Amino acid sequence: MLDVVVIGSGISGLSTAFRLKKLGFEPVVFEKDDQIGGNIKTLSQEGYTFELGPQTVLANDEVKGFFREVGIEPIVASPSSKNRYIYKRGKLVPLPLNPLSFIFSPLLSLPAKLKVLREPWAPGSTKDEESVADFVRRRLGQEFLDYIVAPFISGVYAGDPEKLSVKHATRKIYELEKEFGSLIKGALKKRSLGPKGELISFEGGLFRLIENLSESLEIRTENVVLRVRRKDDRFILDTREGKVETRALVISSPAYTSSYLLKDLSWSASLEFDKIDYVPLVVVNVGVKSGYVPEGFGMLVPRKEGKRILGVIFSSKLFPGRAPEGKDLLTVYLGGATDREVIELSDERILEIVERELKEIFGIPGFDFAHIKKWKRAIPQYTIGYQKYLDLAREMEEIHKGLFLTGNYLSGISVADCIRYSAVKARDVAEFLG
């Protein structure tokens, strides 16, 4: 019998397994695919090094400490990555970085700016739980929602602000209102509104982290877990290699998979987790001649501007060595909660759209390299009422001692969230195993 099995070799599963190993346990990771890393995939082709999933990690001290333990040195994105752009009426408008540039920015109209200045006096909410859109409209106005928050939400969640819960999807902002009664007052007191940390990757891309994590671990790839049952104080797993018994079980697969794995333990929990919405996303990496995009992180397109592209990351501007001399690597996103049909389009059609819109936005005449990745179920949506899923996960762990649930649908969706949550999960598993 094994002590602890981890299902899934994404960043949630691997970082939990890594910490358990450090604590003296011998976790065995089961991964259904022939590749490890889940969403984290880096490719090198024709002189370009590009990401199919996450591009960067926003690393605070805790996350940097984890990288030190793993023995991997991060590289920090170029200082120009603080520059972000919003596409408005045919132009790239820099996102204002301080109050003065906000006042003079053409991003918002004068009435919209005045509404923002009145934010400290905005009325309180009358609802039990608000959507991100309702919250922002109430405090900062419709234009601020359309041209700043909604593009940001599509950049992070590929989500719809009308559906996402302000409490669960943008918790820090929600808490600023709770603590200070105003976002502006809170930001002034805390001296920042945004999340803290440095944007990092690794030499050769994010997959290096997965490689380093896996070095000391036993990972059984192409080994799907099909069923989980409880017998006395053990879990019995039906895997591709046969039956496996374990005292502790960490399930780090996406909610829709965890749902079927949990069905023998709780039919109702299984049905609930299956309701979590994962939106599709199409990621197109293109190589273009240098000189068309400005220095910066990238740009986002408000839905009001009528384009299909959600945003573009200027990937080769962030880290060196991502594109050949004289070329730029751009990562283009389409789909998300507001344009789910894109995932059904042919590759040719997707390339046509990307080519046309890059030409309209940047004047780029065409590209000499392109790679398309379609994620059918890319990112879980922390929608209104999401607390019930978090409660259910805790309840399942309470009832079935030795079961631990993790993954981006519980920890928060960023890679950094998954890494931080793995410390909590590894500690819980270690306490259980004694």
Ligand X SMILES: Cc1cc2nc3c(=O)[nH]c(=O)nc-3n(C[C@H](O)[C@H](O)[C@H](O)COP(=O)(O)OP(=O)(O)OC[C@H]3O[C@@H](n4cnc5c(N)ncnc54)[C@H](O)[C@@H]3O)c2cc1C
**Residue number with CB closer to ligand X (131 or 406):** 406
CA atoms within 13 A on the CB side of 427: 6
Least Å distance, CB 174 to ligand X, is 20
Least Å distance, CB 316 to ligand X, is 15
CB 75 within 8 A of CB 203: yes
Least Å distance, CB 30 to ligand X, is 5
312 Ramachandran zone, left/alpha/beta (phi>0; psi -120 to 50)? beta
Q: What Cα–Cα distance (Å) separates residue 174 from each residue in 27, 139, 415, 422?
A: 37, 11, 21, 24
Least Å distance, CB 20 to ligand X, is 15
Q: How far, rounded to the nearest angstrom, does the alpha carbon of residue 324 sit from its chain's CA centroid? A: 28
CB 327 within 8 A of CB 316: yes
Least Å distance, CB 230 to ligand X, is 17
What is the token pair recorded at 276? 């979590």
**Residue number with CB closer to ligand X (32 or 247):** 32
CB 301 within 8 A of CB 332: no
Least Å distance, CB 220 to ligand X, is 9
**Residue number with CB closer to ligand X (40 or 364):** 40
Please state, in angstroms and rounded to a whole number, the distance separating the CA atoms of residues 275 and 31. 23
All residues at 6 or more sequence positions from 96 whose CB lies less than 8 Å from its CB, including other chains: 102, 105, 107
- Backbone angles phi and psi of 230, in degrees to 5: -105, 130
**Residue number with CB closer to ligand X (36 or 148):** 36
**Residue number with CB closer to ligand X (337 or 415):** 415
**Residue number with CB closer to ligand X (141 or 335):** 335
**Residue number with CB closer to ligand X (144 or 382):** 382
**Residue number with CB closer to ligand X (74 or 141):** 74
Residue appearing with tokens 């039956």: 243
Question: For every residue of 233-297, which 3-state class applies, written as one string?
Answer: CEEEEEECCEEEEEEEEEECCCHHHHHHHCCCCCHHHHHHHCCCCEEEEEEEEEEEECCCCCCCC
State the residues that interact with ligand X by CB under 6 A: 7-13, 30-33, 38-40, 53-57, 224-225, 252-254, 257, 281, 283, 375, 378-379, 407-408, 413-416, 418
Least Å distance, CB 138 to ligand X, is 28
Q: What is the largest CA-CA distance in the chain?
A: 68
Least Å distance, CB 261 to ligand X, is 6
Least Å distance, CB 294 to ligand X, is 20
**Residue number with CB closer to ligand X (254 or 402):** 254
All residues at 6 or more sequence positions from 363 whose CB lies less than 8 Å from its CB, including other chains: 292
